[in-house]
Chain A
Amino acid sequence: TQLLEQSPQFLSIQEGENLTVYCNSSSVFSSLQWYRQEPGEGPVLLVTVVTGGEVKKLKRLTFQFGDARKDSSLHITAAQPGDTGLYLCAVRLNQGGKLIFGQGTELSVKP
């Protein structure tokens, strides 16, 4: 059983479209992170959300933490080919503890 359920797992869209990726769990977390990974590289941290209901924006990316701190979403507005990559949500089980990842969402944005 996955601690974090990400959906969709694959997404192929045209440049300019909007999309939302979801990260759900039945557990409550003190914080949740989103990463982006390009082929052949390590993941890069995009954002950490810590407060229930929190919304953070990073240019065309909007991250939201659920009110109950069990789920999160990533919304991309007007996607561009440069957004192509693997998007991963992740949580730490405790302070200084291991990081557990969702299954990932493979995004392909076609020009």
Chain B
Amino acid sequence: GAVVSQHPSWVICKSGTSVKIECRSLDFQATTMFWYRQFPKQSLMLMATSNEGSKATYEQGVEKDKFLINHASLTLSTLTVTSAHPEDSSFYICSADGDGVNTDTQYFGPGTRLTVL
């Protein structure tokens, strides 16, 4: 149990286009989900906390208008990278809090590799 999926697993897009990444909790409900970005050979950097039914909370330095987060249901959060540029190329990972499963554990998705040409 407690599986988190991401779609797509990888995406290549042209500069200036928008890309949507989905994060789903498959067998549990997640009131809170988190979005991370990871550059090669580096650690995970938290971008934002996604709360079901309310606005996301962004970390300092993360542009909320560029990285749109929607958490419309208890099993789905989406991250849209708007007007993507090559510097947005990265590995994006989501995680979900284990509501009712193990509230001290975050369950991570497999990540989405974004390449902007």
Interface contact B43-A103, CB-CB below 8 Å: yes
Q: Which of A54-62, A76-84, A90-98 contacts B (4 or more CB under 8 A)?
A: A90-98
Interface contact A43-B46, CB-CB below 8 Å: no
Interface contact A42-B93, CB-CB below 8 Å: yes
Residue in chain A with minimal CB distance to B32: A96
In the complex, how many angstroms separate the beta carbon of A97 from the nearest chain B beta carbon? 8
Interface contact B104-A101, CB-CB below 8 Å: no
Interface residue A15 (Cβ < 8 Å from any Cβ of B): no
Interface contact B104-A43, CB-CB below 8 Å: no
- Interface residue tally for chain A (C-beta within 8 Å): 21
> Assuming the A-B contacts A41-B111, A42-B111, are A95 and B104 also in contact, with contact meaning beta carbons closer than 8 angstroms in the complex?
yes
> Assuming the A-B contacts A42-B111, A98-B34, are A88 and B44 also in contact, with contact meaning beta carbons closer than 8 angstroms in the complex?
yes
Q: Contact string, B80-117, partner A, CB cutoff 8 A, digits 1/0?
A: 00000000000101010100000111101111010000
Interface residue B42 (Cβ < 8 Å from any Cβ of A): yes
Interface residue B49 (Cβ < 8 Å from any Cβ of A): yes
Interface contact A44-B103, CB-CB below 8 Å: no
The total of interchain contacts (Cβ-Cβ below 8 angstroms) comes to: 47
Which of the residues A42, A102, A103 comes within 8 Å of B110, measured between beta carbons? A42
Interface contact B104-A48, CB-CB below 8 Å: yes
Interface contact B49-A43, CB-CB below 8 Å: no
Interface contact B110-A43, CB-CB below 8 Å: no
When chains A and B are docked, how far (Å) is the Cα of A42 from the Cα of B44?
10
Which of the residues A42, A48, A101 comes within 8 Å of B109, measured between beta carbons? A42
Interface contact A41-B110, CB-CB below 8 Å: yes
Interface contact A99-B46, CB-CB below 8 Å: yes
Q: Contact string, A100-111, partner B, CB cutoff 8 A, digits 1/0?
A: 111110100000
Interface contact B108-A42, CB-CB below 8 Å: yes
Given A98-B46, A100-B46, 4 other A-B residues pairs in contact with their CB atoms under 8 A: A42-B93, A96-B32, A99-B106, A101-B43
Q: Give B residues with C-beta under 8 Å from A.
A: 4, 32, 34, 41-46, 49, 91, 93, 95, 97, 103-106, 108-111, 113
